[in-house]
Amino acid sequence: MERALERFGLRYAAVARIAVVFVCAPLAVLAVPPDMRLSTAAVAVLLVLWTSAYVFLLRHPGVDLVVIIGLCVTQPWTVFGSAVYDGTSWTLVVSTIAAAAYQWHTSLTFGLVATALLVGAHVAGTVIAAPMEWSAGLPLCVWIVATAGLSRGLFGILRRAARTTDQLHAQEERERREAAVAAARRADHREFLALLHDTTATTLLMVGMGTVPRREMWLCEQADRDLEVLTEAPLTTVDSVDLPALLDGAARESRLNVRQEMSGSVALPSAAAIALFLATREALTNAWRHAGVSEVVLRLVGHQDRAVVEVVDEGRGFDPARVSPGAHGLSGSIVGRLARAGGRAIVESRDGRGTTVRLEWPRG
């Protein structure tokens, strides 16, 4: 905002100067008697040419100040009669607008010095043009100073407001970044908890509950896979993954007989494919642990607008409404994981009627 205000200050100074000069120059020529029109026209033309060049740069205010001071001193040849001291001279209008415009695109020091010099130049020009009545024009100096002061004050207020706005925007951006970082950390934490539940927690629970009464080779293999999942980030650098191949790997890892109903290739972004793979593996694990069946159906359907994975068993079933929200297997590893990936998971089950876990991810 502050930079935008500075650019506006430059535009304001340019528009104000060129508007005043281009209006005052022809009027100045018409306001003087015929014997003064040549000198007035010469000064007016030079001022118009200089202003036309100056407003496109506004980078040499010192040179411009010298030009305006020179204009004030030319009053004996460009201003006629009482206009010198009664406030109707065109040189007063030009010098006043110049003093005001300096406040919008120069430093405070330059603005103060320029105003003082313009006041002095105007008084000097008045003394030369009307040595007997010049004192009557002294109140006009107050007008120049007041205009420059009000202009500087207004610019200062706007600059402080713009600076405050910039600070507020910067604070909002910092808070937004901090919130995004915190959300990313929470998402990483939830994903790690889900992975931990899917892998070592489940394996250790089986061992602790005596589900595996003796040394089994498959349990060692499962522990190796758990360690691999926790220490690696497979496929995260791959843009597109063939989902059927991943799901086939989940089916082969399962202790159940998995009847696969998949046809064709369904390519998905790696993050979505991994989320579907991990949720499917957890659904197969839950079926093995809780459904009391030896076979499940793993179905993949690739629609035009979405990919759908279903894990269906005809086991004992359960009431999803009675599952605790803190149960990581269902809420964290399946429903929550799909939600974090941008998809959704629907669990349909009834006591004694089996369970269907439906995983959906939108395509396109």
68 with 92: CB under 8 angstroms? no
Confidence band for 199, pLDDT divided at 50, 70 and 90: low
15 and 141 within one domain: yes
269 and 153 within one domain: no
128 and 12 within one domain: yes
The answer to whether residue 245 sits within a structural domain is yes
SS3 334: helix
**Can you give the pLDDT at residue 105?**
81
Which residue would you say has higher pLDDT here, 176 or 297?
A: 297
Q: Which of 17-21, 27-31, 280-284, 296-300 has the highest mean pLDDT?
A: 296-300
Domain boundary among 141, 169, 197: 169
pLDDT(316) > 70: yes
144 and 59 within one domain: yes
Among the ranges given (98-102, 252-256, 324-328), the one the predictor scored with the smallest mean pLDDT: 324-328
Confidence band for 150, pLDDT divided at 50, 70 and 90: very high
pLDDT in tens, 21-75: 888 888 888 878 888 888 888 888 888 888 887 776 666 788 889 988 998 888 8
The answer to whether residue 196 sits within a structural domain is no
Share of the chain above pLDDT 70, in %: 80
23 and 123 within one domain: yes
**Can you give the pLDDT at residue 169?**
83
**CA-CA distance, 336 to 273, in Å (whole number)?**
15
The answer to whether residue 149 sits within a structural domain is yes
**Can you give the pLDDT at residue 245?**
82
SS3 166: helix
Share of the chain above pLDDT 90, in %: 12
Which residue would you say has higher pLDDT here, 55 or 198?
A: 55
Domain boundary among 169, 188, 208: 169
262 with 244: CB under 8 angstroms? yes
Long-range CB contact pairs, 52-56, < 8 A, 24+: 52/18, 54/17, 55/13, 55/14, 55/15, 55/17, 55/18, 56/14
91 with 75: CB under 8 angstroms? yes
**Can you give the pLDDT at residue 236?**
47
**CA-CA distance, 169 to 296, in Å (whole number)?**
55
Which residue would you say has higher pLDDT here, 96 or 15?
A: 96
**CA-CA distance, 278 to 64, in Å (whole number)?**
73
292 and 159 within one domain: no
252 and 159 within one domain: no
**Which token pair is 281?**
């593996």
Confidence band for 259, pLDDT divided at 50, 70 and 90: very high
**Can you give the pLDDT at residue 183?**
65
Which residue would you say has higher pLDDT here, 210 or 258?
A: 258
**Can you give the pLDDT at residue 198?**
55
The answer to whether residue 194 sits within a structural domain is no
Average pLDDT of the residues of the chain: 79
pLDDT(187) > 90: no
Which residue would you say has higher pLDDT here, 186 or 270?
A: 270
The answer to whether residue 184 sits within a structural domain is no
**Can you give the pLDDT at residue 196?**
53
**Which token pair is 48?**
């118009």
**Can you give the pLDDT at residue 165?**
85
CA-angle at 67, arms to 40 and 79, nearest 5°: 30
SS3 77: helix
Distance between terminal CA atoms of the chain?
Answer: 38
Tally of structural domains, the chain? 2
The answer to whether residue 121 sits within a structural domain is yes
**Can you give the pLDDT at residue 237?**
45
**Can you give the pLDDT at residue 203?**
57
78 and 157 within one domain: yes
Cα Rg, the chain, nearest whole Å: 41
pLDDT(262) > 60: yes
The answer to whether residue 175 sits within a structural domain is no
**Can you give the pLDDT at residue 209?**
53
**Can you give the pLDDT at residue 310?**
92
Query: What's the domain range around 242?
Result: 238-362
Q: Which of 107, 103, 95, 104 is nearest to 143 (CA)?
A: 95
The answer to whether residue 47 sits within a structural domain is yes
| Residue 229 phi, psi dihedral angles, 5° rounding | -65, -40
116 and 35 within one domain: yes
pLDDT(118) > 70: yes
pLDDT(235) > 80: no
Q: Within the chain, where are the H helices?
A: 2-30, 34-54, 61-73, 75-78, 90-105, 108-129, 139-196, 202-208, 217-231, 243-253, 270-286, 337-341
140 and 29 within one domain: yes
**CA-CA distance, 32 to 80, in Å (whole number)?**
6
**CATH number where 345 lies:** 3.30.565.10
144 and 242 within one domain: no
262 and 143 within one domain: no
287 with 256: CB under 8 angstroms? yes
**CA-CA distance, 89 to 98, in Å (whole number)?**
15
- Quick one: average pLDDT of 180-197? 58
**Can you give the pLDDT at residue 16?**
79
- Quick one: average pLDDT of 268-274? 80
